[in-house]
């Protein structure tokens, strides 16, 4: 098990989860539109509250959303015509050269991630500890901080080391973060790292309905891929400033590769031999499906449907050995099994075909029938882990960055491997695809001869069979342990807090604080992630939602000694404090990544770990009992993920105008946590806060 403060230990700082903060577009927004509502000169698809989510791969894993305007500034008519004229097929090398230059020009114009002032971070660290540790513990930590911050002391030396690193690199944090938060994380990616997304249920009349929807979905993926390949995907903006677009170029044609101590990521999106195929899985059998014609044009939905029917008819019997189940195992065990699997030439060719594919499409068997009230919760579990070895877990390759899931019963969604990207590119892709699937067909495609999709074969030795059996057992234990509840809160959506001039995200975060306090009688370290995409190669930092102000509010809420007006004032003050922390974080001035950087700098310098990082208070601060994420999408969907500590909750939410979608997870192995109970307390907190605000008129804080 990783040390308590490692970003990926179960007992560690929570892996980043989506957590989001809505921000209104400022007057300087280059599109000149009226606000983040999809109105005005911007197309609604490109302009909306978008999740800028935190990395789910590590103990710092929540997310956050902002009003994002994705319209390039001042594009004249000729430029627009040139954009439309760009080909949508596979890129030729000449086009690729232009694209690289254009993308690099944008990236190089972005500022570098700053190293925050040391004294500022230490002061804010002590402030963040106040609501979650005892006064005695805080007093001890104050002494350690005083020692650490002495002029000429260890803190100053490590700070100078970080500043030197920042001058020499594109982003002083990004490589460290990728390794510590994801690639060196050894627990299975299933449940512990990879988020799932539950999309609206489809009504398939028959098997052909499932395949036609899958064909249209694949066509939508290729349509989005063309915008990435041709760089017609508009640059996103936040507060009038362009955002790093690098993650959009990492999510397609990429895959995680297991290693004995550290994994790696391969990407086949660039270069002369770009990926031309996707992987389709049905009945635990993998197929390589070419999705481009020889001239580089993509297959149409009609043509894709024909190919999917061929795959279906070739795989009517379930494969006895679900090879994909190996990807669900502990990373060290999977790395060993992976090397063993690749000793055989046929196996190696099949694995490489999966790794090089643009994405994976999983044609699932129907879920077992359940009552309507738990249906969405079961779908969420299917998206996260596939339901176990007897259901659809073998119908996956969990190392693949993007896996789209379409079941016979109409349940559908996605699971993604988190290392290459946060939520925004995934949400943008999903929204685009869902809209694309609603478009009417433009007419019958011309009949052309299409080659039979290639079945990927595996030779199963007794040793590989044993690895599969072990992976099945371990996965089924995880499946049984995951407690997940999807709740649609119908009483109001983000419109209500907005009407009270309160950030919807801050309102929901405060409701989570109130629910947790009522359940456990204390505050806890809470993770919500702030996007650092304002900086080159920026990933995330942490918004600490448990604050001195939030604790004052939750303590007052059920106190008979406070008037409604006092409680409402404390509520507003706490939401304002949350917004201020968010603003600080997105400008690179939060504390978590800076503290992590100082610690990693000490390790790199081969000096002993400073006492500050061995302190109990630091372990408490990094033990995120609430790992939360706002992932707003245009689509009425919800993202879900597992908790980041054994006694914690994973909470993801998508605030729509009139309702809020929540997914809450916990572990059954912890007697103190219960997802349905948390959902109940959260619903009550939201309603009580609304009643309070309606009862108490606004007053100047």
648 is written with which tokens? 């914690």
Burial class for 320, CB neighbours closer than 10 Å (0-12, 13-18, 19+): exposed
Q: How far is CA 327 from the centre of its chain?
A: 19
Check whether 268 is labelled as a binding-site residue. no
Say whether 494 counts as a known binding-site residue: yes
Q: Is 608 annotated as a binding residue?
A: no
191 neighbors 478 (Cβ within 8 angstroms)? yes
Does the annotation list 694 as a binding residue? no
The answer to whether the annotation marks 502 as part of a ligand binding site is yes
Q: Are 311 and 277 in contact (CB under 8 A)?
A: no
Is 556 annotated in a binding site? The answer is no
According to the annotation, is 527 in a ligand binding site? yes
- Residue 609 marked ligand-binding: no
DSSP states along 358-379: S-EEEEEPPPPP--HHHHHHHH
Tokens of 290: 């070419």
Element housing 481 (H / E): helix 462-481
Point out which residues pair with 364 in neighbouring strands.
Answer: 407
- Write the DSSP assignment of 80-107 as a string of letters: HHHHHHS--SSPPHHHHHHHHHHHHHHH
Q: Contact 255/399 with Cβ under 8 angstroms?
A: yes
Give 135's contacts (C-beta < 8 A, 6+ positions apart): none
Long-range CB contacts (< 8 A, 24+ apart) of 2-6?
2/185, 2/186, 4/619, 4/622, 4/623, 5/59, 5/599, 5/613, 5/618, 5/619, 5/622, 6/59, 6/180
Single out the catalytic residue among 60, 282, 418, 623: 418
Q: What is the dihedral of CA 18, 632, 366, 471, to 10 degrees?
A: -10
635 annotated to bind ligand: no
For the chain, what is the total number of helices (H) and then of strands (E)? 20, 20
Start-to-end CA span in the chain (Å): 46
Residue 529 in marked binding region: yes
Q: Establish whether 501 is an annotated binding residue.
A: yes
Q: Token pair for residue 28?
A: 């300087």
Single out the residue of 592, 699, 678 nearest to residue 55, CA to CA.
592
Distance CA 433, CA 427 (A): 10
Rounded distance between C-alpha atoms, residue 369 and residue 408, angstroms: 12
500 is known to lie in a ligand binding site: yes
CA distance 239 to 28: 7
669 labelled ligand-binding: no
Q: Torsion angle, CA of 316/317/323/324, rounded to 10 degrees? A: 40
Active site residue 490: no
Beta partners for 242? 237
**Which residues contribute to the annotated binding site for CoA?**
494, 498-505, 531, 579, 630
**Which residues contribute to the annotated binding site for (R)-carnitine?**
527, 529, 540
**Which residues contribute to the annotated binding site?**
494, 498-505, 527, 529, 531, 540, 579, 630
Catalytic residue ranges:
418
């Amino acid at each position: 098990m990783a040390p308590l403060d490692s970003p990926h230990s179960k007992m560690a700082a929570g892996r980043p989860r989506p957590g989001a903060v809505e921000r209104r577009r400022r007057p300087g927004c280059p599109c000149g539109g009226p606000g983040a509502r999809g109105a005005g000169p911007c197309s609604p698809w490109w302009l909306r509250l978008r999740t800028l989510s935190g990395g789910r791969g590590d103990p710092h894993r929540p997310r956050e959303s902002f009003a994002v305007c994705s319209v390039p500034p001042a594009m004249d008519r000729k430029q627009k015509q040139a954009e439309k004229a760009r080909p949508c097929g596979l890129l030729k090398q000449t086009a690729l050269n232009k694209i690289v230059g254009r993308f690099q020009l944008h990236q190089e114009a972005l500022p570098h991630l700053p190293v925050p002032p040391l004294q500022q971070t230490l002061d804010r660290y002590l402030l963040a500890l106040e609501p979650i540790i005892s006064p005695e513990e805080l007093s001890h930590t104050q002494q350690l901080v005083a020692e650490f911050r002495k002029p000429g002391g260890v803190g100053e030396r490590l700070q100078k080391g970080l500043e030197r690193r920042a001058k020499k690199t594109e982003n002083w944090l990004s490589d460290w973060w990728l390794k510590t938060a994801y690639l060196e994380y050894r627990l299975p990616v299933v449940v512990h790292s990879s988020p799932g997304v539950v999309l609206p249920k489809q009504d398939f009349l028959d098997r052909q309905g499932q395949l036609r929807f899958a064909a249209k979905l694949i066509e939508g993926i290729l349509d989005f891929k063309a915008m990435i390949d041709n760089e017609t995907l508009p640059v996103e903006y936040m507060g009038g400033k362009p955002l790093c677009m690098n993650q959009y170029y990492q999510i397609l044609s990429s895959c995680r590769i297991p290693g004995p101590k550290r994994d790696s990521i391969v990407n086949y999106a660039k270069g002369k031999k770009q990926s031309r195929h996707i992987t389709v899985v049905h009945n635990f059998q993998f197929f390589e499906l070419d999705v481009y014609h020889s001239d580089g044009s993509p297959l149409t939905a009609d043509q894709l449907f024909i190919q999917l029917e061929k795959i279906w008819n070739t795989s009517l019997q379930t494969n006895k050995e679900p090879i994909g189940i190996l990807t669900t195992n502990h990373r060290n065990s999977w790395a060993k099994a992976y090397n063993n699997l690749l000793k055989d030439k046929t196996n190696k060719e099949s694995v490489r075909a999966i790794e090089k594919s643009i994405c994976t499409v999983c044609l699932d068997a129907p879920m077992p029938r359940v009552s309507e009230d738990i249906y969405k919760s079961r779908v969420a579990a299917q998206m996260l882990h596939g339901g176990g070895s007897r259901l659809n877990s073998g119908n996956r390759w969990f190392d693949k960055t993007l896996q789209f899931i379409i079941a016979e019963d109409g349940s559908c969604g996605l699971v993604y491997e988190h290392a290459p990207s946060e939520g925004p590119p995934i949400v943008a892709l999903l929204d685009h695809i869902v809209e694309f699937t609603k478009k009417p067909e433009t007419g019958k495609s011309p009949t052309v001869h299409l080659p039979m999709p290639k079945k990927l074969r595996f030779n199963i030795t007794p040793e590989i069979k044993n690895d599969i059996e072990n992976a099945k057992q371990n996965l089924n234990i995880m499946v049984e342990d995951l407690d997940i509840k999807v709740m649609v809160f119908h009483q109001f959506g983000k419109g209500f807090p907005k009407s009270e001039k309160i950030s919807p995200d801050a309102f929901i975060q405060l409701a989570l604080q109130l629910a947790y306090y009522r359940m456990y009688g204390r505050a806890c370290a809470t993770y919500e992630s702030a996007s650092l995409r304002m900086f080159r190669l920026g990933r995330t930092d942490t918004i600490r939602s448990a604050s001195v102000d939030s604790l004052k509010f939750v303590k007052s809420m059920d106190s008979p000694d406070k008037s409604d007006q006092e409680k409402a004032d404390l509520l507003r003050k706490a939401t304002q404090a949350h917004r201020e922390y968010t603003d600080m974080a997105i400008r690179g001035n939060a504390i978590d990544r800076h503290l992590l950087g100082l610690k990693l700098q000490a390790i790199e310098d081969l000096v002993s770990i400073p006492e500050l990082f061995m302190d109990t208070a630091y372990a408490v601060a990094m033990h995120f009992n609430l790992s939360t994420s706002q992932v707003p999408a245009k689509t009425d969907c919800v993202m879900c993920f597992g908790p980041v500590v054994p006694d914690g909750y994973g909470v993801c939410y998508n605030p729509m105008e009139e309702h809020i979608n929540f997914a809450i997870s916990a572990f059954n192995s912890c007697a103190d946590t219960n997802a349905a109970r948390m959902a109940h307390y959260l619903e009550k907190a939201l309603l009580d806060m609304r009643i309070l605000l309606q009862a108490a008129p606004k007053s100047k804080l």
